Structure 1
Amino acid sequence: MSNVADALRALKIPAKEIAEKSRLPIERVLAILDGSKVALSELRAIGTGLRLPMHVLAKGERPSERSSVAPLFRAVRGAHQDYDVTIEKIATFVEASLELLPTRRSLPTWLQGLEAKATSYEEADRLAKQFRAIVYEHPLDDPASDLPAVLGSLDGVIISRLLYSRYEGVSLIAGNYCFIFVSPRFQGRMLFTLGHELGHVIAHHKNGGEALFEKAGDIGTFGAHSRQEAMVDAFASCLLLPDRGVAKALRMFKAHYNVQVPAISDFEILLLARFFGVSFDVAARRCEDLELIPRGAGFALSGRLKKEYGSAEKRADQLGVPPRAPIALPALSRQLSASVSQALEGGNVSIGWITDRLGLSIAEVLAANKGRASL
């Protein structure tokens, strides 16, 4: 049996799916699964079609089961009887990153100072304010649309994109580095997911635990599933919409648009959403938590906007609400980019090794080597 056959069987990928995604004849796929020698072009076709790192196929093993970081993926592996490409790609990325990055003996100093003492909204707000005080010059006022860049430059934090995945976000701590992955989605959604996963790093991963792979329904439900998720949703909300910043922005909006009515309307919430870089629903929920609008009013307003205008976003565009600041997820965080450059310049790894294990294009690797890693 060849390594490729071993890998495909271990991943439990049906022959029909391999043939469809690789565009190889089903007869050829069946022969490969039976141990037939695989041509390099076929290996590339299978890897590209299944979006699997080539070395997974070449070695004939699942990184989430047999790599140095395998224990972090035990729980999520157990939840999936069939193969899950994202799990293998993340395991590969983390293992490769730890080979490139300097060894850390302890968690980052900024993280050590953040201690979740309870699972509550009040504690989430306190932690959000404490984190803001660490990273922002004006911590109680500033929008956090630059959170990807802030985290990408923060000691011990590695953030990256989660391409072609059903998951919205992934977070874990390995080798005393904090890893956060976010899927490219609607801009407001991406920013909230990033804040949500940062909340997990602070409140949960810091004390150990396995990797978290979260789908859309796991993020932004504010307690529909568990107190743990309610806590990190609250953290993301308080982080991205600081209470004093919201109050200041609302006063500014009312003055600028000459709004005389004291009550908060959907117009002001649309302005808040765009100004702070979040979705209408997140902004409305924050207004509810700050007791600016009645509990449940946000859901009702969102439903009305969808019914009458198609979506809150379409209504905002019709009203001429300024767009959000762009959310740029880096291909490589600053620290990992520096380590990639050092490894390439020292001849310790090849560009092919980097592209395969970190899921980058050659252009992105070359940009990283010049200190210009970006998305």
Structure 2
Amino acid sequence: MTALRDYLLARQIGKGAAGNIGITADRLDSLYSNAEPTVEEVRLIARFLKVSARELIVPIRTGSERRTKLRSNFNYIRDSLGYHEACRIENTLDEVSDSLGFPSDLPYFVDYPKTSQSAEHLSRIFRAEFLHVDMVKPIPQLPALLFDKFGTVAFRVKARKVDGASYRKGGTALIAIAERNDIRMLFTLAHEVSHLLVDIEDDTNNEIWIDEDVLYPSNNEVREVEFFANEFAATLLIPVEGLLEELKYLRRSLVGPAQLTAFHIASVARKFGTSFSVAARRCENLGLLDFGGAATIEAEIKRKYGSAEKYANVLKIAPRFTINWDYPSRNALQKIYPLVEEGEVSLTRMHDLLSLKMM
């Protein structure tokens, strides 16, 4: 039995998609009934779903078969696609951890209080004392820093519902980031770092945290934890010194109103690699905007321009930095290359797991 039927059910692929796949509706119905697919059918469906053929062949571990304690910010029992993606990502993280094998030195802070003030405090400690990055610069190199300083590998995965996942197992620490735009992925990465620092302490028995939507979690039971992770992410990416320094520069170099405007916020967002919404809320939390001001400004920008990004483009605000998401994965592979040469690890399989192209 293959994993194909589970994939079709989770993605809710109806008979109407058969033509786009390249098979008949009756044949698709047979596959739903656990008929054995041909090699060509697996290839066609994998191309349609934009996944590797292997994912449709090898069943994923679910339920009691899982090796890992699963925690999440959504009710996966009621979300078949989210649960399927969560199990698949857990399987991937488990295999990557077994294959890489080297430990992570990323710290864990026991019983850390979950308040906005403590989130900012932790982000400042982490930035200054662990990452050794000053408080005025953006950190586009965050994926590289996590690997170089702690041996923590952050890598991309394909997922529609899940945004990211953080994972510890026997001393290793990994982060999976769903492929989105750089803005969302960087924020998700910082969010998952928070989970590793304060939520996942289990080094011996596996534990994973799955986030379906880092900005709007649907599970009320973890709302406090998710709020803390978002506050940590925002303050890590936009430290107060960097924000004030950028505003000072803008007011010094441009003729305009002294009060904070959408232009200032959009400039901060692009400078530090966040969304307009994250930058605006950061300003509001620091008292630079009245309560509710962030949402009001963002709504007005969307009404006039369609999106904050279009607004920034119209005003010719400097483009964002780019992020090298492949750096941790490629350097991790170099680190285990002796195992590849000895045949203990498949280089092709690792490229597939880490979403890397063969060079």
Category of TM-score, reference length = shorter chain: 0.7 to 0.9
Partner amino acid, structure 2, of 1:62? I
Q: Is 1:201 matched up with 2:196?
A: yes
CA deviation after TM superposition for structure 1 residue 120, in Å:
0.3
> Paired residue for 2:60?
62
For 1:143 and 1:197, the matched residues in 2 are separated by 18
Q: TM-score, normalised to structure 2's length? A: 0.82
> Paired residue for 1:373?
none
Q: Is 1:25 matched up with 2:24?
A: yes
> Paired residue for 2:313?
317
For 1:168 and 1:41, the matched residues in 2 are separated by 31
Q: Is 1:238 matched up with 2:235?
A: yes
Q: TM-score, normalised to structure 1's length? A: 0.79
Q: Please tell me whether the aligned partners of residues 106 and 197 of structure 2 are also in contact (alpha carbons under 8 angstroms).
A: no
Change (3 A) 1:249 1:26: same
Q: Please tell me whether the aligned partners of residues 160 and 330 of structure 1 are also in contact (alpha carbons under 8 angstroms).
A: yes
> Paired residue for 2:216?
218
For 1:168 and 1:85, the matched residues in 2 are separated by 14
**Matched residue pairs, number?**
351
3-state secondary structure, aligned to 1:206: coil
> Paired residue for 1:44?
43
CA deviation after TM superposition for structure 1 residue 68, in Å:
6.1
Question: Any unmatched runs of 5+ in structure 2?
Answer: none
CA deviation after TM superposition for structure 1 residue 69, in Å:
3.2
CA deviation after TM superposition for structure 1 residue 149, in Å:
2.5
Change (3 A) 1:43 1:12: closer
> Paired residue for 2:334?
338
Q: Please tell me whether the aligned partners of residues 173 and 205 of structure 1 are also in contact (alpha carbons under 8 angstroms).
A: yes
CA deviation after TM superposition for structure 1 residue 329, in Å:
2.2
Q: Is 1:290 matched up with 2:289?
A: no
Q: Is 1:98 matched up with 2:97?
A: yes
Equivalent of residue 250 in structure 1, options 236, 241, 247? 247
Q: Please tell me whether the aligned partners of residues 170 and 211 of structure 1 are also in contact (alpha carbons under 8 angstroms).
A: yes
Identical residues among aligned pairs (%): 25
Change (3 A) 1:123 1:311: same
Equivalent of residue 183 in structure 1, options 170, 178, 190? 178
For 1:92 and 1:311, the matched residues in 2 are separated by 37
Change (3 A) 1:348 1:286: same
3-state secondary structure, aligned to 2:94: helix
Partner amino acid, structure 2, of 1:214? E
Q: Please tell me whether the aligned partners of residues 90 and 208 of structure 2 are also in contact (alpha carbons under 8 angstroms).
A: no
Partner amino acid, structure 1, of 2:95? A
Question: Any unmatched runs of 5+ in structure 1?
Answer: 368-375
Q: Please tell me whether the aligned partners of residues 82 and 162 of structure 2 are also in contact (alpha carbons under 8 angstroms).
A: no
For 1:254 and 1:116, the matched residues in 2 are separated by 42
Q: Is 1:229 matched up with 2:226?
A: yes
Change (3 A) 1:251 1:131: same
CA deviation after TM superposition for structure 1 residue 196, in Å:
1.4
Note the alpha carbon deviations across 1:246-272, whole angstroms, 9 max, x for none.
11221111112244x432222211211
For 2:251 and 2:141, the matched residues in 1 are separated by 25
For 1:319 and 1:35, the matched residues in 2 are separated by 55
Q: Please tell me whether the aligned partners of residues 288 and 295 of structure 1 are also in contact (alpha carbons under 8 angstroms).
A: yes
CA deviation after TM superposition for structure 1 residue 49, in Å:
3.8
Change (3 A) 1:109 1:34: closer
Note the alpha carbon deviations across 1:305-336, whole angstroms, 9 max, x for none.
12223222222222221111123322752553
For 2:178 and 2:278, the matched residues in 1 are separated by 18
Change (3 A) 1:251 1:84: same
For 1:154 and 1:307, the matched residues in 2 are separated by 43
For 2:98 and 2:222, the matched residues in 1 are separated by 36
Partner amino acid, structure 2, of 1:157? T
Q: Please tell me whether the aligned partners of residues 157 and 179 of structure 2 are also in contact (alpha carbons under 8 angstroms).
A: yes
Note the alpha carbon deviations across 1:113-165, whole angstroms, 9 max, x for none.
x4452110111011101110135444222112222232243423121113242
Q: Please tell me whether the aligned partners of residues 171 and 211 of structure 1 are also in contact (alpha carbons under 8 angstroms).
A: yes
Between 1:162-171 and 1:346-355, the stretch displaced more is: 346-355
Note the alpha carbon deviations across 1:225-252, whole angstroms, 9 max, x for none.
8221111111011101111111122111
For 1:160 and 1:202, the matched residues in 2 are separated by 18
